[in-house]
Amino acid sequence: MQSDNAPLEQPSLLSPARPVAPPRWGALADYLSLTKPRIIVLLLVTTLGAMVVAAGGWPSWPLVAATLLGGALASGAGNALNCYLDRDIDALMGRTVWRPLPSGALAPGQALAFGLALAALSFLVLGLWVNLLAAVLAQAGLWFYVLVYTRWLKRTTPSNIVIGGAAGAVPPLVGWAAVTGELSLLAWCLFAIVFYWTPPHFWALALLIREEYAKARVPMLPLVAGDAETRRQILWYSVLLLAVSLLPFAFGLAGLGYLVAAGGLGGLLVRYAVRLCREATRAAALALYKYSLLYLALVFTALVADRLLGG
> Cβ neighbours of residue 51 under 8 Å, at least 6 residues apart?
59, 63, 64, 67, 175, 176, 178, 179
Task: With H, G, I as helix, E, B as strand and everything else as coil, classify residue 75.
Answer: helix
pLDDT surpasses 60 at 18: no
Contacts made by residues 32-35, CB under 8 angstroms, sequence distance 24+: 33/99, 33/100, 34/76, 34/79, 34/80, 34/83, 34/99, 34/100, 34/106, 34/111, 34/114, 34/115, 35/75, 35/76, 35/77, 35/79, 35/80, 35/118
The pTM (predicted TM-score) of the whole model is 0.91
The answer to whether the CB of 50 falls within 8 A of the CB of 172 is: yes
**Confidence class for position 104, pLDDT limits 50, 70, 90:** very high
Q: What is the C-alpha to C-alpha distance for residues 262 and 101, in angstroms, rounded to an integer?
A: 41
Distances (CA, A) of 134 to 49, 80, 116, 256: 15, 21, 18, 30
The per-residue pLDDT for 19 is 53
Compute how many other C-beta atoms are within 10 angstroms of the C-beta atom of residue 196. Answer: 21
Look at residue 95 in the predicted model and tell me its pLDDT.
83
Q: Give the pLDDT score at 310.
A: 79
Residue-averaged pLDDT of the chain:
92
Q: How far apart are CA 28 and CA 107, in angstroms?
A: 14
How many percent of the chain have pLDDT more than 70? Answer: 92
Model confidence at 12: pLDDT above 60: no
Q: Using an 8 Å Cβ cutoff, are 185 and 192 in contact?
A: no
Rounded to whole angstroms, the Cα distance separating 90 from 98 reads: 8
Task: Band the pLDDT of 13: cuts 50, 70, 90.
Answer: very low
Condensed to tens digits (0 to 9), the pLDDT of residues 245-281 reads: 999 999 999 999 999 999 999 999 999 999 999 999 9
More confident residue, 257 or 17: 257
pLDDT at 3 over 60: no
At 138-150, the pLDDT tens digits run: 999 999 999 999 9
Give the tens place of pLDDT for each residue, 106-150: 999 999 999 999 999 999 999 999 999 999 999 999 999 999 999
What tens digit of pLDDT does each residue of 205-223 get? 999 999 999 999 999 999 9
